[in-house]
């Protein structure tokens, strides 16, 4: 039997609504007093009642031609807040233990689609479907594959998948019917793929999680912890660094650095295979798995084709002990590096330090 520990209580829902609506009234009042015309609207899961128990952030959009002026004004209204890192003007603060984001954008900003998503889903998701969305979000959160900031599936994608397929079971069957990550069009903007945020390794994890769910028909809702992450990667190597930016920036930096290091090694040693992953909690973890872990001390190094006589002679001059192989002139050389695990560690650590991420 599926546990329902992920469903917020009626009192929790009531409290979220009261706080959300109070903040909207406060924002509208401040804007009116300062003669700033704006559209104010709650967005996200707390505006659609699709939030998981204990994950009740409040997002409010302020859309105005004077959005910069409005942003500066609210810095003085909610003085305990701070700017959220990134290209957008987002003022973040805590109110009664709830994380609140005030997002300031002009009317022509691409993120205006977020307002349309909220209205669309509120029109098209019944209370039963919203409950199934909460279940699906809780499931993917428990498996550590939820959120664009870690390369996972996002809330609006889950809402659309449930709208189309009705149940988590059907959503999983649909996701498993694709070998590669499919294109799920945004109902507001069909040119946008709602699964665009999912990185390759998360796609594989999502499919593994769905296979497990379809087999067991239930899941346990629990936070995805570093312990759970490590348990799934016992044979991997893990490097930890201090946080520096927002979660999305830290994740993308970490995964990019790891993949860059792996590609650098593979350019020199094509027989090396590997996989990278990264995750962000209060620290940044970079993980990798490579084979072989150690390379032989020597390798065959081949130069130009044997029909390029001048180039072959030059090669033989540098490498007197050369020989022909597969139509090329070759020799045996010693490798500078043979410990691939350590090589990866050195490259990753150096690149992260260059970006001012301190090792833990």
Q: What is the CATH number of the domain that holds 260?
A: 3.30.70.600
Q: What is the CATH number of the domain that holds 138?
A: 1.10.1410.30
183 with 135, same domain? yes
137 with 151, same domain? yes
pLDDT of residue 85: 83
With respect to residue 4, please indicate whether it lies within any of the assigned structural domains: no
pLDDT of residue 2: 44
With respect to residue 132, please indicate whether it lies within any of the assigned structural domains: yes
pLDDT of residue 3: 45
Number of residues that make up the chain: 360
Full residue range of the structural domain in which residue 213 is found:
125-224
Q: What is the CATH number of the domain that holds 323?
A: 3.30.70
114 with 25, same domain? yes
78 with 191, same domain? no
Number of domains forming the structure of the chain: 4
pLDDT of residue 231: 93
29 with 112, same domain? yes
Closest CA to 247 of 147, 144, 168, 154: 147
Largest Cα–Cα separation, the chain: 86
Distance of CA 317 to the CA centre of its chain: 52
Which residues does 66 contact at the CB level (< 8 Å), separation at least 6? 36, 37, 38
With respect to residue 360, please indicate whether it lies within any of the assigned structural domains: no
Question: 327 in the Ramachandran plot: left (φ > 0), alpha (ψ -120 to 50) or beta?
Answer: left
Q: What is the CATH number of the domain that holds 106?
A: 3.30.460.10
Q: Single out the residue in 177, 204, 224 at which a domain terminates.
A: 224
134 with 55, same domain? no
Integer Cα distance of 76 and 93 in angstroms: 12
With respect to residue 1, please indicate whether it lies within any of the assigned structural domains: no
238 with 342, same domain? yes
Whole-model pTM: value is 0.88
26 with 114, same domain? yes
Q: Single out the residue in 201, 224, 247 at which a domain terminates.
A: 224
172 with 278, same domain? no
234 with 348, same domain? yes
With respect to residue 82, please indicate whether it lies within any of the assigned structural domains: yes
Q: Which residue has the tokens 């009626």?
A: 10
Q: Single out the residue in 98, 118, 138 at which a domain terminates.
A: 118
Closest CA to 251 of 345, 145, 360: 145
Q: Which residues of the chain have pLDDT under 70?
A: 1-3
Portion of the chain with pLDDT greater than 70, in percent: 99
345 with 247, same domain? yes
* Mean pLDDT taken over the chain: 95
With respect to residue 359, please indicate whether it lies within any of the assigned structural domains: no
With respect to residue 5, please indicate whether it lies within any of the assigned structural domains: no
Integer Cα distance of 99 and 58 in angstroms: 6
243 with 322, same domain? no
């Amino acid at each position: 039997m599926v546990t329902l520990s992920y469903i917020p209580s009626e009192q929790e829902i009531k409290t979220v609504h009261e706080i959300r609506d109070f903040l909207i009234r406060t924002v509208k009042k401040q804007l009116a007093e300062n003669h700033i015309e704006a559209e104010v609207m709650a967005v996200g899961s707390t505006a659609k009642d699709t939030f998981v128990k204990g994950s009740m952030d409040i997002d409010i959009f302020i859309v105005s031609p004077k959005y910069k002026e409005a942003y500066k004004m609210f810095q003085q209204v909610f003085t305990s807040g701070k700017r959220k890192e990134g290209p957008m003007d987002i003022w973040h603060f805590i109110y009664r233990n709830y994380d609140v984001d005030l997002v300031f954008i002009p009317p022509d900003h691409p993120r205006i689609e977020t307002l349309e998503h909220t209205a669309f889903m509120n029109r098209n998701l019944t209370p039963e479907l919203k409950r199934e969305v909460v279940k699906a979000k809780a499931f993917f959160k428990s498996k550590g594959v939820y959120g664009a900031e870690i390369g996972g599936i996002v809330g609006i994608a889950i809402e659309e998948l449930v709208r189309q397929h009705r149940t988590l079971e059907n959503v999983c069957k649909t996701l498993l019917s694709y070998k590669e990550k499919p294109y799920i069009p945004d109902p507001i903007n069909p040119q946008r793929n709602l699964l665009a945020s999912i990185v390759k390794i998360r796609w594989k994890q999502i499919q593994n999680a769905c296979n497990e769910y379809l087999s067991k028909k239930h899941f346990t809702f629990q936070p995805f912890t570093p312990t759970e992450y490590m348990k799934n990667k016992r044979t991997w190597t893990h490097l930890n660094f201090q946080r520096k930016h927002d979660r999305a920036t830290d994740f993308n930096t970490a995964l990019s650095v790891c993949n860059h290091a792996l590609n650098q090694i593979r350019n020199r040693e094509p027989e090396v295979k590997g996989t990278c992953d990264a995750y962000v909690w209060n620290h940044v973890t970079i993980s990798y798995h490579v084979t072989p872990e150690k390379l032989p001390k020597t390798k065959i190094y081949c130069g130009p084709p044997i029909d390029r006589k001048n180039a072959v002679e030059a090669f033989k001059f540098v490498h007197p002990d050369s020989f022909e192989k597969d139509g090329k002139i070759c020799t045996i050389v010693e490798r500078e590096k043979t410990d691939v695990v350590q090589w990866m560690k050195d490259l990753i650590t150096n690149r992260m330090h260059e970006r001012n991420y301190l090792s833990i």
